[in-house]
Structure 1
Amino acid sequence: MTKKMQPVLAYNTGEKDDKSWIITETRFSNTSLGKTEAIFALGNGYMGLRSASEEKYPFEKRGFFVAGTFNKFPGPQEVSELPNAADFLNMEMYLNGQRFDLSMGKIYAYEKSLHLKKAELTRTILWETPQGELFSLEFRRFVSLADKHVVGQKVTIIPLSNAAKITVESGIDGQVTNSGTQHFKEGSKRLLKNRILKLEQETTASGIRFVHFSKHQFRKTTPILDPNHQVVMKRRAVHQHFKAITVEQNESLTIEKISAVYTSLDKDNATEWVEQAQTGFERIDTYDALFEEHAQQWQKIWQMYPIEIQGKDFDQLAVRFAIYHLVCMTPSHDRRMSIGAKGLTGERYKGHVFWDTEIFILPFYILTYPDMARQLLEYRWLSLDGARKKARDNNYEGAMFPWESAWVGEGEVTPLFGDADVVTGEATPVWSGFEEQHISADIAFAVWQYYEYTHDDAFMDAYGYELILATAIFWQSRLEWNDQKSRYEINRVIGPDEYKEHINNNAFTNYMAHWNMQKATEIYHHHLKPEVKLRLEENWQLSHYMAKIENKHHKLYLPQPNTVGIIPQDDTYLSKEIIDLGPYRKVIASLLNTYNMEQVNAMQISKQADVLMLLYLLGDQFSDEIKLANWTYYEPKTLHDSSLSKSAHSLFAATLCETEIAYAIFSDAARIDLGQDLASSDTGVHAASLGGILEAVLFGFGGIQIKQGELHIEPQLPAAWQKLSFRFYWRDCPLQLTIESNRTLVRNDSADIVQFKNGGRLIELAPEKTVFIH
């Protein structure tokens, strides 16, 4: 009988110690490196670092990304992307002349772990060289949350068989590329004060300057060593070759490497920023001191997001994992930046920002950290010039937001071509940049969602109203009059279901555009202060366009439920061929290995939630019967060939009070990155899926909803959980929600009275009081 292979990832979820925060890779495979490089990635919002090993392997994908540092390689088919910056992790170690390489020799013990509580990566290894010598090695690493520029590494080596001569080569390697594209010019290199490596570079087109520093410290047991070294300079790289250090049997050699990166984006108009960076780096302390400051900052993070699940330990870990990565990828330091689809964990999607941020990530921040939600929306306001340019370039008016965004104001950055067509063999055009236009309404919707939860009038006056009105101006220019049917339509688009290209009257797009224009009308007549209206009149000719918006939005076609309650996803979806999706749900990639996009377009197959996403976002407009009928029709036809789909379906199922179905889908969503599929996350973690997992917990099982501007709390606890508790904000008032199997408590931690509804009852909760709602 064949021995069953043990899982590669282990989840240490003991309730009584720090192991409840640890994810561990238990077996080394030099052909499956991408999984933990991505899911164990470290970051602080300023930078993100894939967790490649210190030693290099052929199938690795090293990645280091600094938020906002976009660059465009020259060429008609090139678009801006986040450059893979210089690699400073690499440390080659030679043990009695044998290069440390886990693909050789024997591994007797191996654990690579991400410690979520303190955001530290560790590797512990017991390794025998091909010559039969045994070594213990421990690697530790963190990206500082206390100092956004700093990365710390510590390596401890113990010879167990006999004394060893240990040689180390380490430095800063700027020869890395984005899948072959080099985004940096050659820059200056030097060794400062005989101990600090320095590499300066500049991006080829955007002109963003980087300066990298690294310094090393060696010690045996306690004494600090100063080994002889040789500086090696190559093109775009500078290294130190440290001469052999003799280490006795069972004695330890510790190598600390502290690195930092600074860019010219850090300080606007600073004339001496490189010198300031160097002075700051020279003051940086040892690994342990830096790590302690870093760990204290992460302790504050976990206090900010006290989401507790009692039940299946994996579920609690999945929530912590999602929060961890959102913190690592959110550029809290700079409102000119937002969150890319892979965060800062990989090159996929080139670091670009999609609707993912507003629809799947922003709601978590709105509920738990409203100031961060506001900042992410300010990024969109700062991007209005690019949205205006895209509208103008396409002969429209107003603000037409790019499907993919990079630096503020840059405009559309969606690539023109994608993967090969399995039928023709030609590169497949990427139509999303031209046709996936619902993002303009998605942004407007997110702005209003933020306002409903916060009543942040200052934000709306300065930014929010303009975003909603400018996008409404776009939509009125986008509508097409159908003279035969006496109505406006929106033709040749792509909805959330990206399997359907060049379609007419996508229900999601039409309804969201209608909502956008209707909300603009309401704002224009009832919300604008005179001085705000005057400013927007000057910027957008409001009075001219508002007459058009009011006239047109009433006549926009909104697909209605048919006789059995099904809302047509588009004009032709319900008449397309129905096929059995069973085989393709088991191996999703096989569908597009069998059919090309033209063929898939002719079938009743959805990539992800489309009509169901509409019914969730605009839930007030549809009855429960309509929602259930569409769930029953569309979910079996959805392949979930998008990481956004599972969490969206879990969230929607929860609104139908299908709690156990919602939980089952939530469990699947939580395993997109954390599951045992060793290729699922090679190109980076799935940022929107992680945000969606948190949405499913807070809005789905937690039951937080807004209906007609009022807060509703309708919680539902899956059978697998005994308790769910979290804190959230409602209009500056912190509330604590605790859901147990036999009762639900809401505590008001503010100084104000809070009103909310539960089960049709209006509840008034006094300051500093708790109420049992069932």
Structure 2
Amino acid sequence: MPKLIYDTKNFIIEQRGFNSLLTKKSESIFSQGNGYLGLRATDEEKNVYNKEDFFVNGIFNRGDRTEVSELANLADLLKTSIFIDDEIFMLNRRMKYRKSLDLKNGILKREVEAKIKNKKFLFVFKRIVSQTNKQIYAQTIEIKQLTGEKTCIKIFPMIDGQTTNSGIQHLDEGKKTLLSESLLQYQEQTNQSNHWVIHNLKLRAYANNKILKSGNDDYVLKMARRQVGYLIKSEVSVNKPFKLEKIMSVSTSVDNDEILNYDNVKENADKLAKTIEEIKFKDIEKQNKIDYDKIYKQFDVKIEGNKEAKYDLLALKFSIYHMNNFVPTHSSNMSVGAKGLSGEGYQGHCYWDTEFFIVPNYLFTNPKIARNLLEYRYKGIEGAREKAAEGNYIGAQYPWEMAWPTDGEVTPYWGQPDIVTGKQIPIASRKQEIHVPGDIAFAVDQYFQVTNDQDFMNKMGYEMIIDTAIFWTSRVEKMANNKYQITDVMGPNEYKGNIDNNNFINLVAKRNLELAIDYINKLSSNSEGLKILDDINKKLPYKWNLNLMIDVKDNLIQQLPNENNIIAENDQFLSLPRMDISDFQLLGDAGKKLFNTKEGHKRLGAQLVKQADVILSTFIFNELFSREVVRANFDFYEPVTTHDSSLSPTTYSIKAIDLRKMDIAYKLFKYSLNIDMGTNFHSADAGIHAGSLAAIWQSVVFGYGGFRFLNKNVYISPILPNQWTKLTYSITVKNTKLKVSVNKNDFTIEKVSGNDLKVYVNEQEYLISNKHNFKVITKW
């Protein structure tokens, strides 16, 4: 049985032992990338249990007319067949197997000790993705013979274009070219979106530390359908190893903000070919050590304490490592898929997770990246208008799932068959999960309040907020009492569909309307603003009514606290029976037990919550709720929440910290860390969980660090768990950088740069001008 080992001193995560049924976990969590490209960490030996994936962010394609656009799996340059005395090398459980990811430099290393025909061998595989030149990655394979007479080996490195997305072929074959000695180029083109992808592969083979030359019977060029590579023959013996080094690059049509034509991609690929002829694996390794140091310093968080605290810090580093893998920093044409670039889960599509669980991390550390992610949404505004028109509405209804920004809605229409009727069930979220427009409007406004980026608002932000508000005026239904309601929806709690007046949806809709009205009034007060409004109106293919917007804002139903301070999740929720659901909590995938058992079906018809819904409202709109209301709703909803969504435990943990419920806060915090990193070998089969990994930073900074930006103000009220002795972090707000250092009983806030800043510390207003000392509030 494989085991995961966590080296908290050296920041290395290691898998020991091999089982072909349990490979997908480490394939996902050991994946590598740089925001531009992503490599799934499959083993080099090609086999049915591996799912190789190589993605370039933004290369989407629709495989056939029955499919939606998805992130296309590109040609594989890593899989390499090895023959030992004419016997193909394949893994088995008896072999000594160690696979590790070094978070300090991004190196994936695998060591396999094997006995083959009474001889012992050590195979050492390494991979690295460059953080400086994001189009380059590299691999080494070393074969060392430990015992026995000399051995004949054959190794077949190649570019393999036979890859698919679970059977869907997205790319047509193009040209195969030998550019120079041991330097190959392979071209492929997506068969619907028509994107060009050009791969280069430079080989260096060494026998007994001497480089081998190609163009002879022992180093032969091979070609087949969608494949090009070399068959290399050599010998190894004790103290005479064989080593193969591969330096690889990829160039595509989406490498710039403007789509490149074939000639541009070919020109870029040829330049990269010259580059990879000059560099070696060790050059990338040396530079990556410097680059990763910068990556971690960008987030600048340190945790000190006992053994658990050291693990928590490792988990935080792990989350930052993966954020760097999946967040695009080079273009605003792409966003973050729910599985990042680590697997085919959710087809590479972007969800609302980005606005609440990823954008804030960069908003307070590197706002340029936050702007890129919001610009991506603006580039999809036409698709949002088309989405609204699907339901005979107007306005910008941002899709539930997005791919390339102009693709519009890409949520599949159909899901799994009903086990009773045998008929396919429509995917309800495509129609019912309608809160995304409000989520985006909230994120746009928060970005502006934190950065004061007027250029962004003038070009994009005002239009996004106004157009999403127009959608709500179209989507609501007017009642006989002149109130407005929103029916037949699904909120964040995806266990409850076809419900009315979901508390979170109605709250986010009202906030969206409030923002639009405030900005319209502001723009209407001067000539420059009126011109911006006029330009927006020229872009809109429909008329809109400000008075209607005001009326809906004032009269939209809100779920208010009842006599027990409980906020109804929706109109129907509180009338449902209440049952004990403890056996279904914190399982990682409670859905299987819920949907496949009689006891589960009973609870699906009861007060059951998949993920934070009302509690998410109290997190996002914290300023609207008293502590008494937050406490009452936490106590009411947490016992009936399965936390089956990876986004749920973070939100509940942060709110528990706010309430100083420290035991349950740490329990949920640890659960959130282990969704991907923990020892459950099926928790990340289809890829890592991008939103929950990014949310680890928020758990630390927003939770234990006590930092919050609410209603245009900064709040700081930190507290440490028992396992930690110190926490330090830095954040930037309104061009002012603050450093917060938290001990058990006291903390300091220091202005590092920028202007003096008003901050509410433990709910009291202070002007932070240099370094200030405060006491930790342990109870409210």
Q: In the alignment, what sits opposite 1:533?
A: 533
Task: Please show how residues 554-633 of structure 1 align to structure 2 within 5 Å.
Answer: 554-585=554-585, 587=587, 588=590, 589-594=592-597, 602-633=605-636
Q: In the alignment, what sits opposite 1:246?
A: 235
Q: In the alignment, what sits opposite 1:685?
A: 688
Which of 8, 11, 22 in structure 1 is aligned with 2:6? 11
On the 8 A contact 1:659/1:701 being kept in 2, the answer is: no
Gaps of 5+ in 2: 776-780
Q: Cα deviation per residue 1:102-125 (whole Å; 9 max; x = unaligned)? A: 217x42x43210001111101122
Say whether residues 1:456 and 2:453 are aligned partners.
Answer: yes
On the 8 A contact 1:391/1:398 being kept in 2, the answer is: yes
On the 8 A contact 1:164/1:249 being kept in 2, the answer is: no
Secondary structure, counterpart of 1:170 in structure 2: strand
Structure 1 CA distance, aligned partners of 2:423 and 2:751? 60
Which of 643, 647, 650 in structure 2 is aligned with 1:644? 647
Secondary structure, counterpart of 2:108 in structure 1: strand
Shift of 1:275: 3.2
On the 8 A contact 1:402/1:411 being kept in 2, the answer is: yes
Q: In the alignment, what sits opposite 1:430?
A: 427
Structure 2 CA distance, aligned partners of 1:432 and 1:568? 21
Secondary structure, counterpart of 2:561 in structure 1: coil
Q: Residues 700 and 619 of structure 1: is their aligned pair in 2 closer, same or farther, counting only changes over 3 Å?
A: same
Q: Which moved more, 1:584-593 or 1:204-213?
A: 584-593
Secondary structure, counterpart of 2:303 in structure 1: strand
Structure 1 CA distance, aligned partners of 2:490 and 2:59? 30
On the 8 A contact 1:501/1:601 being kept in 2, the answer is: no
Say whether residues 1:196 and 2:196 are aligned partners.
Answer: no
Q: In the alignment, what sits opposite 2:375?
A: 378
Secondary structure, counterpart of 1:772 in structure 2: strand
Structure 2 CA distance, aligned partners of 1:531 and 1:475? 24
Q: In the alignment, what sits opposite 2:506?
A: 510
Shift of 1:255: 0.8
Q: Which moved more, 1:533-542 or 1:91-100?
A: 533-542
Q: Residues 143 and 212 of structure 1: is their aligned pair in 2 closer, same or farther, counting only changes over 3 Å?
A: same
Q: Residues 543 and 412 of structure 1: is their aligned pair in 2 closer, same or farther, counting only changes over 3 Å?
A: closer
Q: Cα deviation per residue 1:706-731 (whole Å; 9 max; x = unaligned)? A: 34422111111111111111111011
On the 8 A contact 1:55/1:92 being kept in 2, the answer is: yes
Q: In the alignment, what sits opposite 2:144?
A: 158
Secondary structure, counterpart of 1:654 in structure 2: helix
Q: In the alignment, what sits opposite 1:759?
A: 762
Gaps of 5+ in 1: none
Which of 204, 214, 221 in structure 2 is aligned with 1:231? 221
Secondary structure, counterpart of 2:596 in structure 1: helix
On the 8 A contact 2:4/2:14 being kept in 1, the answer is: yes
Q: In the alignment, what sits opposite 2:155?
A: 168
Q: Which moved more, 1:615-624 or 1:190-199?
A: 190-199
Q: What amino acid is aligned across from residue 101 of structure 1 in structure 2?
A: M
Q: What amino acid is aligned across from residue 657 of structure 2 in structure 1?
A: A
On the 8 A contact 2:111/2:123 being kept in 1, the answer is: yes
Q: Which moved more, 1:185-194 or 1:565-574?
A: 185-194
Q: In the alignment, what sits opposite 2:402?
A: 405
Which of 266, 290, 295 in structure 1 is aligned with 2:284? 290
Say whether residues 1:36 and 2:26 are aligned partners.
Answer: yes
Q: What amino acid is aligned across from residue 11 of structure 1 in structure 2?
A: Y
Structure 2 CA distance, aligned partners of 1:490 and 1:101? 58
Q: Residues 744 and 35 of structure 1: is their aligned pair in 2 closer, same or farther, counting only changes over 3 Å?
A: same
Structure 1 CA distance, aligned partners of 2:665 and 2:586? 20
On the 8 A contact 2:59/2:71 being kept in 1, the answer is: yes
Shift of 1:292: 1.9
Shift of 1:87: 0.9
Say whether residues 1:177 and 2:180 are aligned partners.
Answer: no
Structure 2 CA distance, aligned partners of 1:292 and 1:46? 20
Q: In the alignment, what sits opposite 1:501?
A: 497
Q: In the alignment, what sits opposite 1:653?
A: 656
Q: Cα deviation per residue 1:212-254 (whole Å; 9 max; x = unaligned)? A: 11121012353222253222222222221112x1223122222
Say whether residues 1:711 and 2:705 are aligned partners.
Answer: no
Q: In the alignment, what sits opposite 2:778?
A: none
Q: In the alignment, what sits opposite 1:216?
A: 203
Q: Residues 668 and 715 of structure 1: is their aligned pair in 2 closer, same or farther, counting only changes over 3 Å?
A: same
Q: What amino acid is aligned across from residue 408 of structure 1 in structure 2?
A: P
TM-score scaled by length of structure 2: 0.94
Structure 2 CA distance, aligned partners of 1:330 and 1:651? 23
Q: Cα deviation per residue 1:593-652 (whole Å; 9 max; x = unaligned)? A: 126999765321111111111111111111111111111111111111111111121122
Q: Residues 744 and 548 of structure 1: is their aligned pair in 2 closer, same or farther, counting only changes over 3 Å?
A: same
Q: Which moved more, 1:273-282 or 1:733-742?
A: 273-282
Q: In the alignment, what sits opposite 1:549?
A: 549
Shift of 1:9: 0.5
Say whether residues 1:444 and 2:441 are aligned partners.
Answer: yes
Q: What amino acid is aligned across from residue 719 of structure 2 in structure 1?
A: Q
Structure 1 CA distance, aligned partners of 2:485 and 2:292? 50
Shift of 1:683: 0.2
TM-score scaled by length of structure 1: 0.95
On the 8 A contact 1:565/1:630 being kept in 2, the answer is: yes
Secondary structure, counterpart of 1:154 in structure 2: strand
Shift of 1:541: 8.4
Q: In the alignment, what sits opposite 1:772?
A: 773
Structure 2 CA distance, aligned partners of 1:194 and 1:471? 56
Say whether residues 1:62 and 2:56 are aligned partners.
Answer: no
Structure 2 CA distance, aligned partners of 1:706 and 1:583? 36
Structure 2 CA distance, aligned partners of 1:670 and 1:429? 33
Q: What amino acid is aligned across from residue 265 of structure 2 in structure 1?
A: W
Structure 2 CA distance, aligned partners of 1:424 and 1:726? 55
Q: Residues 600 and 549 of structure 1: is their aligned pair in 2 closer, same or farther, counting only changes over 3 Å?
A: farther
Task: Please show how residues 44-55 of structure 1 align to structure 2 within 5 Å.
Answer: 44-55=34-45
Q: Cα deviation per residue 1:137-184 (whole Å; 9 max; x = unaligned)? A: 211101111111111001122111132222101101111111111111
Q: Residues 41 and 508 of structure 1: is their aligned pair in 2 closer, same or farther, counting only changes over 3 Å?
A: same
On the 8 A contact 2:34/2:129 being kept in 1, the answer is: yes
Structure 2 CA distance, aligned partners of 1:234 and 1:220? 27
Q: What amino acid is aligned across from residue 393 of structure 2 in structure 1?
A: Y
Q: Cα deviation per residue 1:637-672 (whole Å; 9 max; x = unaligned)? A: 111111111112112212223233212100001000
Which of 303, 307, 330 in structure 2 is aligned with 1:309? 303
Shift of 1:527: 5.1
Q: Residues 186 and 422 of structure 1: is their aligned pair in 2 closer, same or farther, counting only changes over 3 Å?
A: same
On the 8 A contact 2:621/2:710 being kept in 1, the answer is: no
Q: In the alignment, what sits opposite 2:86?
A: 97
Q: In the alignment, what sits opposite 1:22?
A: 12
Q: What amino acid is aligned across from residue 284 of structure 2 in structure 1?
A: L
Q: What amino acid is aligned across from residue 227 of structure 2 in structure 1?
A: A
Q: In the alignment, what sits opposite 2:70?
A: 81
Structure 2 CA distance, aligned partners of 1:475 and 1:621? 21
Secondary structure, counterpart of 1:434 in structure 2: helix
Shift of 1:773: 2.0
On the 8 A contact 2:586/2:643 being kept in 1, the answer is: no
Structure 2 CA distance, aligned partners of 1:293 and 1:694? 26
Shift of 1:544: 4.2
Which of 462, 469, 473 in structure 2 is aligned with 1:476? 473
Say whether residues 1:669 and 2:672 are aligned partners.
Answer: yes
Secondary structure, counterpart of 2:71 in structure 1: coil
Structure 2 CA distance, aligned partners of 1:61 and 1:600? 35
Q: Cα deviation per residue 1:524-552 (whole Å; 9 max; x = unaligned)? A: 11256333223223234899422210122
Structure 2 CA distance, aligned partners of 1:420 and 1:693? 35
Q: Which moved more, 1:700-709 or 1:546-555?
A: 700-709
